[in-house]
A and B are shown apart, each in its own frame.
Chain A
Amino acid sequence: MSNTNSLILEGVNLKKTYKLGRSQVPVLRGASLQIHQGQWTTILGSSGSGKSTLLHLLGGLDRPDQQGGEVLFNGESVWAKSNRQINTYRNNHVGFVFQFYHLLPELTVLENAFLPTMIGGSFTSKSEAKNQAKRLLDQFGLSHRFAHRPRELSGGERQRVAIARALVNNPSILLADEPTGNLDEETGNGILDVLGALHQEGLTIVMVTHNMEIANRGDVIVHLRGGNIAQLD
């Protein structure tokens, strides 16, 4: 395992409550966890345990409750930042991979992959950004698919495009929410192999799953039960 010492992302006593009609449903009741540089953390929990919510809070997509804890990225509170800085955080520092791929159907594979570079990022030229996207797609075996639309791709291919998109701005962390949940086992394993290879290269990964077997791919498994972190392996 490469450099596991430096702390990069930290969730401190995270609380999140959803309104369901008139009742308040607490999803997270004070979950805390620490992500270290180069670590592959898997968050394991059953359906409804709040594992996706935890990932959304960490990725800056969803806001914790008032006084519902903090997300610290490199020691700085994410949710204390301005809207603009949160946008930069989503665009530049974390990469998200979703269960349902969430590619834009009107854009080609290549355009989907380099879309985040058009929104922000550190690339100085468009061609440089495009080359980065092409390199990632090449790496994931999609070089023949650049001009295709997402609907022409298989599920595994779409998820690989989504991973390329998540990584195109060289984020510090890849956040994956059940990345294999919509795929058959063989294709899912292919995706996990891709993640494994990226991890080998030193990428920090946080992955949510309900599958113990998949969770075992990670270095650290976090069990989430009843909105709390149950056990650290």
Chain B
Amino acid sequence: MYQTLLTSRYLTSRVIPLIAVAAVALCVALVIVVVSVMTGFLDMVQSSGKTLMGDVIISNGIAGIPHYEKLANRLEKNEQVLAATPIVDGWGLLRMPYPDSNVKQSETVQVWGIEPESFAKVTDFKNSLQWKNPTTNQRDWLLLDAVSNNEETIQSLLNPEQWIEFVELINSASHTLNFVEANLWENTKALLNEEQWNAVLSFDVRLSGEDALQQQGLELSRNGKPGIVLGLHVNDGNRRMKNGTYQVSRNDYWWAPRFEGTLTMLPVDAEGGIIEPESIIMPFVNEFQSGVFTIDESLIFIPIDVAQSLLHMDEASIVDLDDPAKIIGVDPARSTSILIRGVPGIDGEVLREIVSTIYDEFSSSFSYETIVLPPLSHDPGLIIQTREEQQRSFTGPVKKEREVMRTLFSIVYLVVAALILSIFWSIVFEKTRDIGILRSIGASRASIVWIFLQYSAVIGIAGSFLGLFSGWLIIKNINAIHDAMGNPPLSIAIICFALAICTGAYTVVKMLSGQMLPIVLGSLGFITLSGVGGLILFIRYIGGIVVWDASVYYFSRIPNELDWGSSLFTVGGAILFCLLGALIPAAKAADTDPVKALRHE
């Protein structure tokens, strides 16, 4: 077929098809990169809430669910349910122990009383814990705290000369606050004999115990005392750095696990009035990070029995009103909600139906003699929801945002489409004379259109897939590219300047000949190269540019997953617009009288 012959010749013997392929590839890559990063970002926001929620939640507000253990047992017996865990949810005031007064000292916090063991099965609690083992510096702080708190015991273990040396060592270290320089750990160890050193280590299990810090977080206790796990941003001493890592202010001085805090909660009675507030002092055993800023700045975990007692939801005796000494029954402990995790892959809606059925069985299993009955599933206040429903107020805006972004991107699509259309328009326009020749020797209009359809299909497919590949490469390496942009290598600047000098010299030589094109291209090349070189030097001078500021987004890395759905849509769209872009002008040219087309220059 002569169409194929012409198409292949048009493709191979000119520069324009290469430019067109490059343009299509760039457009496709641009859209793919932007859409993928945006979708990835929104997905991260949406999925970060999953960390600390189950798949389905049963809740009955402050009135609570009595006999919740029985419910949890029933739930866990179902094959579709992996685990269930009760939660006591309430609000409280946490007095922070910051030794300095120029920071907020009390925080309003949402308090979750949890059963750590089952909670870790339902949620990703373990991985959300921030501290596994203390850093060297944090360990030295713990050592300093341990010896300060056990001064008398240590003094009794040491001989007087040792003691004086020991006090000097500790004092100098606590004054410099620089344990690496003071070499506190090694010097102390060297000063003491093995027995004395082991005695010091025994003051705090975190000094020597493997993963002891993480274990305390998982158990919500330290040395048998109940403890608090803080959201990472509850403590103002934690600062997020631009690269997404955390730094504890003042050289770990404000490291939360060193301290304890006072938690006050407001119990509410059956009428909704506030009963006498209850307070408790508990050590901070660990910190967690869910990835959602609003959760990380306000949520804390405490053991469920502590929360029940603070909120008066623990087990109590029911007494005869006429004779307070006469106990007529037991008001069982309550939880405000139960989080349920299904087996992997189960649909949230399906699991909710299963949970509803189990709840109905549970609520109807009590005899009428039982004094405190659980609420029925249709009672107002009792809610059985999937995580998506529960999170709707949080994810709703994010989803809307995504819609807005999609709409904005459709404008990008239009721009790209217009660009591709105009490229092909000019290609076909340039070939109008050829079309006239072909028509004059008897080619039909349809066959003319077919030539350009083939031509644009090849360019469209090649360009789109090249764009898909480049987009994929960019997305996969986007964090490396971002880091390189933030800290461009000096060698590239030097290469740019060297090339700029060569181009400049070439331009000057060409100026003597008076030809315009080399002068224009040379000057542009010189300006671009020296500009890029200068920009790199400037970025290095100001210490690098950070586009993705992790301290703003709370995600340390730019999402680097290709959004295959919209990428393939983009590829298809680009090919379609290539075809349209060639079809319309080709059809127009084919309809032109051959004589007019031949006159076209």
* Cβ of B233 under 8 Å from chain A: no
Return the contact of A87 from the options B1, B433, B437, B442 (Cβ within 8 A). B442
The CA-CA distance from A59 to B595 in the complex, in Å, is 11
The CA-CA distance from A116 to B438 in the complex, in Å, is 8
* Cβ of A212 under 8 Å from chain B: no
Query: Are A61 and B442 interface neighbours, CB within 8 A?
Result: no
Query: Are B593 and A61 interface neighbours, CB within 8 A?
Result: yes
Query: Are A111 and B5 interface neighbours, CB within 8 A?
Result: yes
Shortest C-beta distance, B597 to chain A (Å), equals 10
* Cβ of B189 under 8 Å from chain A: no
Number of interchain pairs (Cβ within 8 Å): 65
Query: Are A116 and B442 interface neighbours, CB within 8 A?
Result: yes
With A61-B595, A102-B598, A104-B437 in contact, do A87 and B2 touch (Cβ < 8 Å)?
no
Shortest C-beta distance, B79 to chain A (Å), equals 70
The CA-CA distance from A92 to B443 in the complex, in Å, is 11
* Cβ of A217 under 8 Å from chain B: no
Query: Are A56 and B595 interface neighbours, CB within 8 A?
Result: yes
Give the chain B neighbours of A115 by CB distance below 8 A.
Answer: 2, 438, 441
Query: Are B443 and A87 interface neighbours, CB within 8 A?
Result: yes
With A102-B598, A107-B9, A119-B442 in contact, do A62 and B2 touch (Cβ < 8 Å)?
no
Chain B binding surface SS class: helix
* Cβ of A118 under 8 Å from chain B: yes
Give the chain B neighbours of A62 by CB distance below 8 A.
Answer: 593-595
Return the contact of A96 from the options B14, B433, B441, B447 (Cβ within 8 A). B441
Q: Return the CB mask of B564-601 against A: 1 if under 8 Å, else 0.
A: 00000000000000000000000000000111001000
Q: Which residue of B lies closest to A90 (CB)?
A: B442
Query: Are A119 and B2 interface neighbours, CB within 8 A?
Result: yes
Q: Which residue of B lies closest to A96 (CB)?
A: B440
The CA-CA distance from A116 to B2 in the complex, in Å, is 9
* Cβ of B309 under 8 Å from chain A: no
Give the chain A neighbours of B1 by CB distance below 8 A.
Answer: 118
* Cβ of B10 under 8 Å from chain A: yes
* Cβ of A186 under 8 Å from chain B: no
Query: Are B445 and A102 interface neighbours, CB within 8 A?
Result: no
Give the chain A neighbours of B434 by CB distance below 8 A.
Answer: 104
Query: Are B444 and A90 interface neighbours, CB within 8 A?
Result: no
Return the contact of A90 from the options B433, B441, B593 (Cβ within 8 A). B441
* Cβ of A83 under 8 Å from chain B: yes
Query: Are A116 and B441 interface neighbours, CB within 8 A?
Result: yes
Shortest C-beta distance, B221 to chain A (Å), equals 82
Query: Are A119 and B447 interface neighbours, CB within 8 A?
Result: yes
Shortest C-beta distance, B90 to chain A (Å), equals 80
The CA-CA distance from A165 to B437 in the complex, in Å, is 11
Shortest C-beta distance, A120 to chain B (Å), equals 5
Give the chain B neighbours of A120 by CB distance below 8 A.
Answer: 442
Query: Are A83 and B445 interface neighbours, CB within 8 A?
Result: yes
Q: Return the CB mask of B412-441 against A: 1 if under 8 Å, else 0.
A: 000000000000000000000110111111
With A61-B595, A62-B593, A102-B433 in contact, do A107 and B5 touch (Cβ < 8 Å)?
yes
With A61-B593, A119-B2 in contact, do A106 and B442 touch (Cβ < 8 Å)?
no
The CA-CA distance from A61 to B47 in the complex, in Å, is 67
Shortest C-beta distance, A133 to chain B (Å), equals 13
With A104-B6, A106-B10, A118-B5 in contact, do A98 and B598 touch (Cβ < 8 Å)?
yes
Shortest C-beta distance, B586 to chain A (Å), equals 16
Give the chain A neighbours of B13 by CB distance below 8 A.
Answer: 106
Q: Return the CB mask of A81-119 against B: 1 if under 8 Å, else 0.
A: 001100111111000101000111011000100011011
* Cβ of A63 under 8 Å from chain B: yes
Query: Are A90 and B440 interface neighbours, CB within 8 A?
Result: yes
With A56-B595, A83-B444 in contact, do A102 and B5 touch (Cβ < 8 Å)?
no
Shortest C-beta distance, A109 to chain B (Å), equals 13
Give the chain B neighbours of A98 by CB distance below 8 A.
Answer: 598
Give the chain A neighbours of B2 by CB distance below 8 A.
Answer: 115, 118-119
The CA-CA distance from A107 to B9 in the complex, in Å, is 7
Query: Are A107 and B442 interface neighbours, CB within 8 A?
Result: no
Return the contact of B444 from the options A61, A63, A84, A102 (Cβ within 8 A). A84
Return the contact of B441 from the options A63, A83, A107, A165 (Cβ within 8 A). A165
The CA-CA distance from A132 to B10 in the complex, in Å, is 25
The CA-CA distance from A54 to B516 in the complex, in Å, is 45
Query: Are A102 and B440 interface neighbours, CB within 8 A?
Result: yes
Shortest C-beta distance, A113 to chain B (Å), equals 11
Give the chain A neighbours of B9 by CB distance below 8 A.
Answer: 106-107
Query: Are B593 and A63 interface neighbours, CB within 8 A?
Result: yes
The CA-CA distance from A83 to B436 in the complex, in Å, is 15
Q: Return the CB mask of A102-145 against B: 1 if under 8 Å, else 0.
A: 11101100010001101110000000000000000000000000
Give the chain A neighbours of B440 by CB distance below 8 A.
Answer: 59, 61, 90, 96, 102
The CA-CA distance from A90 to B437 in the complex, in Å, is 11
Give the chain B neighbours of A119 by CB distance below 8 A.
Answer: 2, 438, 441-443, 447
Greatest chain A CB density within 10 A among B6, B9, B433, B442 is at B442
The CA-CA distance from A88 to B433 in the complex, in Å, is 20
Q: Which residue of B lies closest to A57 (CB)?
A: B595
Q: Which residue of A lies closest to B436 (CB)?
A: A102
Q: Which residue of B lies closest to A91 (CB)?
A: B442
Q: Which residue of A lies closest to B442 (CB)?
A: A91
The CA-CA distance from A118 to B5 in the complex, in Å, is 10
The CA-CA distance from A206 to B2 in the complex, in Å, is 28
Give the chain B neighbours of A96 by CB distance below 8 A.
Answer: 440-441
Q: Which residue of A lies closest to B437 (CB)?
A: A102
Give the chain B neighbours of A92 by CB distance below 8 A.
Answer: 442
Greatest chain A CB density within 10 A among B2, B439, B441, B447 is at B441
Return the contact of A91 from the options B441, B594, B598 (Cβ within 8 A). B441
The CA-CA distance from A83 to B433 in the complex, in Å, is 20
Shortest C-beta distance, A31 to chain B (Å), equals 17
Return the contact of B442 from the options A88, A102, A104 (Cβ within 8 A). A88
Give the chain A neighbours of B441 by CB distance below 8 A.
Answer: 90-91, 96, 115-116, 119, 165
Q: Which residue of A lies closest to B11 (CB)?
A: A106
Give the chain B neighbours of A118 by CB distance below 8 A.
Answer: 1-2, 5
Shortest C-beta distance, A15 to chain B (Å), equals 16
Q: Which of A25-70 contact B (CB under 8 A)?
A: 56, 59, 61-63
Q: Which residue of B lies closest to A166 (CB)?
A: B441
The CA-CA distance from A98 to B437 in the complex, in Å, is 10
Q: Which residue of B lies closest to A63 (CB)?
A: B593
The CA-CA distance from A176 to B332 in the complex, in Å, is 110
The CA-CA distance from A228 to B1 in the complex, in Å, is 43
The CA-CA distance from A118 to B443 in the complex, in Å, is 10
Closest CB pairs A-B (n = 6): A91-B442, A118-B2, A106-B9, A90-B442, A116-B441, A62-B595
Chain A residues engaging chain B, CB cutoff 8 angstroms: 56, 59, 61-63, 83-84, 87-92, 96, 98, 102-104, 106-107, 111, 115-116, 118-120, 165
Q: Could you list some 14 contacts between A and B, CB below 8 A?
A: A61-B439, A61-B594, A62-B593, A62-B595, A89-B442, A90-B440, A91-B442, A98-B598, A102-B436, A103-B437, A104-B437, A116-B441, A118-B1, A118-B5
